[in-house]
A and B are shown apart, each in its own frame.
Chain A
Amino acid sequence: MRYLTARLGHLLAVLFSVTLLTFMLVNVLPGDIAYDIAGLDASEEDVQAIREDLGLNRPVLLRYIEWLGGVVTGDWGHSYRTGEPVLEAIMSRFPVSLELVIIAQIIALLLAVPLGVISALRNNSRFDRVVAVTGFFCLSIPNFLMAIILIYVFGLWLHWLPVTGYEPISEGLWDNVRNFILPSLSFALAEWTVLTRVLRSDMIGVLQEDYISMARAKGMPVHRILWVHAMRPSSFSLITLLGLQVGALIGGSIIIESIFALPGVGRLLIGSIFARDFMIIQGCITLIALAYVVINFTVDICYALLDPRVRTARAHG
């Protein structure tokens, strides 16, 4: 209970500092959303009238406190450009970004775990070297370039998969998933390398432990040694890295979402930054900060589940 209270306090402190800093920085940026709303054919009087309507002439700190009060009561404000409620705008786009991240991580893990384990078992073999070279090759290609290559091969040349778009799951599972294959691969084909190398390193160390030698000596099958006894202690770094990657992807998927025209949080955020739509920017940043903290918390829980020593240490304070 004490642990949970401490984590909650930590979450609130992070959210407060991130949102305050963002609010101040965005308001310091040159440019003015009122000009974007008014359009090129407006007059300066029109622009000033818009500023007055949106309350942009009021002190920044006052606007932040009002915003904070609204957030606590569930009112995250309205977009200056479209009038759409911020929470509604973000929540309609968050599932898209989340699905992209989850599918990307699943693909990365499906590649990384078996390849990492086998590479660890056969370290310095030809297989290990081929996996390493292939991995570094994939890692050296920026994800936007990977996206373009995938589009040309699978979308324009083979016509196997759609190039752009998004269909919600309500339109059909395959219609939903097939729009995520290429964008997810754009991420996963870089990430699997890092996950593989980390898992491989940890597992090589674990496989040299005495209890593993004991298991071998007792005649335990190799697959049981690997998947039951070696996998758990080797996965702490993997889980930490996974948590960091997921957090980074939620906010960092701007380029991939733009290339594949996925209506996610990344695209919403970048459009809002260019237009100086402060309320949407605040909402997106708050969501991303929340995501990081929640994921970090989840990673800690996973540690406790994987390693009884962590649970015991926490129980004894």
Chain B
Amino acid sequence: MSKRDLVSTYLRRGTALVLAASVAGIAGIAQAGPTKGGTLTVGLETDVRGFDTVKGGVYGISGRTVAGALEEPLIMYTPDLNYAPHLATSWTNSSDGKTWTIKLRQGVKFHDGSDFEASDVAQHLNRILDPKNKSRSRGFITAIKNAEVVDTHTVRFNLVHPWQGFLPAMAGRDMGSLIESPEQTVAGKQNRHPIGTGPYIFQEWRGGDRVIVTKNPNYWDKDKIHLDKIIYRILPDPQTRYQSLKAGDVDLIWTDRGSSIVSARKDKSVVVYEQSGSGGGLFLLNASKPPLDSEIVRQAVRHAMNQKAVNAVLWKNTRPFSEHPMPFDCGDVNYPHHSIEKAKALVKQYGKPIKLQMIHTTTPRGREYGEINQQLLKKAGMELELLPVDQNILVKRVFTNNYMMSGWRIADSVDVGPQLFGLSFSKSPYNITRHKTPMLDKLSLGMRMAKDEKTRKLMQCKMAAYINKTSNMAFGAKNNYFIIMQPNVKGMRGFSYGTPYVWYLWKDNG
């Protein structure tokens, strides 16, 4: 072979090699994405009580985080406040607003192999709605009269009145929203051995220790699921939970401890994911207990209180200042900002000594909250007696009208309307501040019966403004969620109801 031929040969071979390497590299990049396989260990604050809508009570964040891997809602709530199909593919509302027709996804199966059909949805909802079953979830959906089967994959919901809260209820993460296996429920086993249509299948539950779920090989949307197994470990103590993450015993935790969050933000060995929510802290002023029956006294208390100071001390500024509990903007809602001068003026206007009492939990946070308010009210010329009680007793005292002032909360929800209604409507069994305000009643009913979402939101804003003006409740810092993870945990995305969608995550090996 001549020199020229040799060079030509090597040039051709070299070019071919470079081309082949480029193609392989591009193919590699194209294939890079979520890593398949592996086990994710999640640290939870509390154990689950049970998975049956009737027997299991209500879910907290821990329960929702586990249940979401096993059971699914009809509709998904997207982080940008829209609704996306999930077990339901489409939905329509009748012209009078009292009937919703939902088409279900076909080809979905429960973990026991049975088909997911309209009868399952109807049975699940009607079981909750039956007063004889005394389901704790019933109170959230009393606007639904019943659910009936139209055909194998179509369900019709008949409402008591037009209710814009229907879609949020179907997109929820609570027991009522997540569809259970009817066979397992009828057999009485759903509570401890749940079956759903979700991406993971229940494997084991060691009470007080962990719940283990494994990948559902027949999941209808399997491209979105990457892990082989999720282990949910019960780690009630927040310090223990955080240390477990730092030690590598768990991959992901949820926490609301300001000190842990601040420390994690500075720590390069972990990743902090922040998600804002709705709802938040609430402070109750019992309008049936003198002198809180006077709006002047209530306003004096509100002006003396200082949400910014509470956020700094209790939450280490990890929660945002908030004038109302809704997840959307309301503009000006008459929020009574902290002003000792205004509080003093109102105390003077009242003209009599003001002696108040506040119940609070015996936790460090509960005590700090009480002490902050005590000092602030003292500056304004009011006397506040603190009464520390167990959480259990606090709840009982509030429900039995045996309190003057107390901390409370509005749960994170796609739509806080039902809670606002319960707290505001004077005839509601949940009117725990015992007020009787005709204007607030009118606004509450207007919100509940609103024919479109825009009107419903507007009414919620008006309710918040009126509550701020009359001061029978004080809105506190809005819910804000912090997920702290190992750096190799990927795929965290926006979530709702304070429930991280851990079932969509994966773990990089690198």
Contacts and interface: CB of A to CB of B under 8 A. Distances in A.
Interface of A: 30-33, 35-47, 49-50, 53, 81-84, 89, 92-93, 151, 155-156, 159, 162-166, 258-261, 263, 267-268, 271, 274-276
B243 interface: yes
A39 B244 CA distance: 29
A87 to B, nearest CB: 12
Interface stretch (B31-39, B50-58, B370-378, B442-450): B50-58
B207 A93 contact: yes
Contacts of A260: 240
Contact of B192 (A36, A40, A84): A84
Centre residue among B140, B208, B237, B247 by max chain A CB count within 10 A: B208
A148 to B, nearest CB: 9
Nearest to A36: B392
Nearest to B135: A46
Nearest to A260: B240
Interface size class of B (residues with CB under 8 A): 35 or more
B49 interface: yes
A82 B50 contact: yes
B237 A43 contact: no
Given A35-B399, A46-B139, A83-B55, A166 B240 contact: no
Given A83-B50, A89-B207, A159-B247, A165 B233 contact: yes
Contact of B240 (A35, A84, A164): A164
Given A35-B392, A274-B391, A275-B392, A163 B399 contact: no
B504 interface: no
B411 interface: yes
B359 interface: no
B134 to A, nearest CB: 5
A261 B139 contact: no
13 contacts: A30-B393, A31-B396, A36-B392, A38-B57, A39-B57, A39-B58, A40-B409, A43-B430, A156-B243, A163-B247, A164-B250, A165-B233, A261-B237
B399 A261 contact: no
Interface of B: 47, 49-50, 55, 57-58, 134, 136, 139-140, 191-192, 206-209, 233-237, 240, 243-244, 246-250, 389-393, 395-396, 399-400, 408-409, 411, 419, 422, 429-430
Contacts of A267: 208, 236
Nearest to A262: B209
B133 to A, nearest CB: 11
A179 B90 CA distance: 50
A162 B247 contact: yes
A84 B208 CA distance: 12
A31 B244 CA distance: 33
B192 A46 contact: no
Contacts of B139: 41-43, 46
A84 B236 CA distance: 20
Nearest to A151: B243
A156 B249 CA distance: 10
A151 B244 CA distance: 10
Given A42-B136, A261-B234, 7 more contacts: A36-B395, A41-B411, A43-B429, A43-B430, A83-B55, A84-B192, A274-B392
A176 to B, nearest CB: 13
A282 to B, nearest CB: 17
A156 B246 contact: yes
Given A163-B247, A164-B235, A276 B208 contact: no
